Amino acid sequence: MTRSISFFCALLAVPLAVVLLALAPHAFGQDTPEPDGEIVLEEAAPTDTAIAQRIETIFGQIETLADVEASVTAGVVTLTGETLTAEAAERAMALAGRVQGVVTVENRIERDVSVNTRIAPAVGALEARLEGMVRIAPLIALAVAVFVALALLGWLLSRWKGLWRAITPNRFIADLLGGTVFALLLMLAFVAALSLLDAAAFLGALLGAAGVIGLAIGFAVRDTIENYVASVMLSVRQPFRPNDHVVIDGHEGRVIRLTSRATILMTLQGNHLRIPNATVFKAVILNYTRNPERRFEFGLGLDPDEDPLDAIETGAGAMAALDFVLSDPAPLGVIEEVGDSTINLFFAGWVDQDRVDFAKSRSAAIAAVKTALETAGFTLPDPGYRVSLEGAVPSGMPTEAAPRAIPSRPAHSETHPDVAPDTAIARRVAEERREGDTPDLLSEQAPTE
């Protein structure tokens, strides 16, 4: 609808510009500058009489100088009479000064400010222009017809969706190609119409002004242009698909859609997040959905008196017993760091995000490993410091340390934690995509990087 309105506005505006151009006094050419150089007399020796006669003969052939008289004494020309404009008086002086034998020119010309002499030339000029319009009316009609035909052809080609979709499967690029063809044909139509009217000078000035204005606008809307170009590149690259779980420039969420200006995410809290496409194009993008297999990680502290390798074997075995943890790659356990009061163990396992929820699986694995270590008698210390006193034994304290008592552990029971995928955000994104009327530049069938 917007393109149709713009098209018909152009059809109305450009013919009007053509008509106004035809009414301009210099539409079909420019004033020819007067040649320089000396005006030679017919007589061999210049006399005052010959000079005056020559000047008056020249003035008599110029309508604006017909009332100017010239008198010559000793080569000095004195101009008298009246002219309508100061420019005409200056022209008379220039012409008189070029005549052979003239020493100098005295300007005593007065301006004619009477109403009658002012109105008559204006009316005559208007009549001349109207007569010129009548004479060139067929040419103006031809120029308008050529413009309308080329503009209409461009509009029809831009509306031919099947052609552009056949050239490129990307809808955004197809629409961009259609709009570009329409703009090029519209410019060609305008140039052709002005060429038929022989308005080369006007066309050159127009193109020059358009270049300067375009440069100024380019600097003013540089960010907008950068954002638009980024939209084109993202629609071609497709770094993510609808409903992908991504992290873009530190912002995490699921992709709702890609528009011509921004990428819209739904955060894990259910909020809408709009990121400019220029930022998305330059940002580091982390896509959790592309590879369904994902590794979770966590750490547990172990008492320094315990055997860390035995604890690692026990914890890795507990994770391997969980049906949602993948056996290939196998669960992993390593000693991450030995501290002053604890040994930090690192555990990792892989899950299939298509079958289970990542956060739930990690939580269940942490609980299973902790329970397995406690059941096996390993001590998982709470944060704190152990103070060891060597030397004298304080009064009232036994001389021998009592052996460490291992508290009774409850029997380990087989559990089946809930690790089903949480689809709440994914469902909301799907609803947004179904109900939204904003064009989406993403395609679930298009190839991705």
As a whole number of angstroms, the distance between CA 319 and CA 403 comes to: 32
As a whole number of angstroms, the distance between CA 204 and CA 197 comes to: 14
Chain position carrying tokens 């000396």: 38
Task: List own/partner pairs for 357-361 with CB under 8 A and 24 or more apart.
Answer: 357/419, 357/420, 357/421, 357/422, 358/288, 358/294, 358/296, 359/422, 360/417, 360/418, 360/419, 360/420, 360/422, 361/296, 361/324, 361/325, 361/419
Average pLDDT of the chain is: 78
Q: Using the predicted structure, report yes or no on whether residue 397 has a pLDDT greater than 60.
A: no
Q: Using the predicted structure, report yes or no on whether residue 91 has a pLDDT greater than 70.
A: yes
> DSSP string of 247-298?
EETTEEEEEEEE-SSEEEEE-TTS-EEEEEHHHHHHS-EEESSSSSEEEEEE
Q: What is the pLDDT of residue 221?
A: 64
pTM: 0.55
Domains of the chain (ranges; CATH) run: 2-24+140-219 (no CATH), 48-113 (3.30.1340.30), 235-289+427-435 (2.30.30.60), 293-375 (3.30.70.100)
Residue 323's SS3 state is coil
Q: Using the predicted structure, report yes or no on whether residue 28 has a pLDDT greater than 50.
A: no
Residue 428 makes CB contacts below 8 A (sequence gap 6+) with 266, 270
Q: What is the pLDDT of residue 322?
A: 93
pLDDT band at 356 (very low <50, low <70, confident <90, very high): very high
pLDDT in tens, 243-287: 999 999 899 999 999 988 899 999 999 999 999 999 999 999 999
Q: What is the mean pLDDT of residues 410-416?
A: 50
CB 63 within 8 A of CB 57: no
